[in-house]
Amino acid sequence: MTRLLRTIRLDPSDALVFPRAAEPGEWAVPGGFYFWDDEVAALDGKRRQAFRAGFLGLSSFGWSTLVQVASASPAQRDDAVAALAAHIRAAHGAPDDDAARAAAEDEVAFAESLCDHPPGTLVALSRGIEDGAVRERFRTLHERAQEHRRFDALPVFAAVAVDDAEEAPIRPDLARMARASGRADTGDDP
């Protein structure tokens, strides 16, 4: 077993900020090679955001803000390399299959080098130009150890298992709640 990066989506923002968002669960690489032929200073909008903070998913070839360290079998690693090699050959003009495979191996090996953390560790990327060269910085986000949590606080996001029974959606009566709290809009405000 090895460790690779896998895309994760905590909210829908990737679909709004990138030209194409990666699907959650795709194997991923940093993907800086995607911008080799670009004039980085001229990038704007969603492509600029992909340059600045995107990991490249290896199924959709979309972008993800965060990735997670995950265990991968040798066959999964080989599949990731093969998918990236085919993409490099088709979309980026590698001269032949061997050159595309070598470039894909390098990129996946680089991604592996970022996985010297426990599975589940989140990784974020910041990419920019410094002294005329592209510079990539990676940040890891770890879950705090239990003894460091204050008052055993709940995490900001948590998954809650629900049985097969479908729950009715909660539809609060916001107008009634506002009236009850004395903050109802009377229409008298300037």
Torsion of CA 4, 78, 29, 59, to 10 degrees: -110
pLDDT of 190 > 50? The answer is no
Residue 38 to residues 55, 58, 84, 99, 134, Cα–Cα distance (Å): 17, 21, 20, 21, 12
Inside any domain, residue 89:
yes
| Residue 163, pLDDT score | 52
| Residue 184, pLDDT score | 45
Inside any domain, residue 91:
yes
Tell me the per-residue pLDDT of 48-63, one tens digit each, with 9 for 90 and over.
999 999 999 999 999 9
Count of structural domains within the chain? 1
Q: How many residues does the chain have?
A: 190
Inside any domain, residue 180:
no
Inside any domain, residue 188:
no
Read off the pLDDT band of 47 (50, 70, 90).
Answer: very high
Inside any domain, residue 153:
no
Residue 35 sits in which domain range? Answer: 2-141
pLDDT of 92 > 70? The answer is yes
Mean pLDDT of 19-37: 95
Greater model confidence, 21 or 177: 21
Inside any domain, residue 38:
yes
Q: Which three-class secondary structure state does DSSP give residue 33?
A: helix
Burial 82-116 (b: 16+ CB within 10 A, else e): ebbbebbbeeeebeeeeebbebbeebbeebbebbe
pLDDT of 45 > 70? The answer is yes
pLDDT of 189 > 50? The answer is no
Query: What global pTM score does this model have?
Result: 0.75
Residue 60 to residues 19, 41, 46, Cα–Cα distance (Å): 12, 26, 16
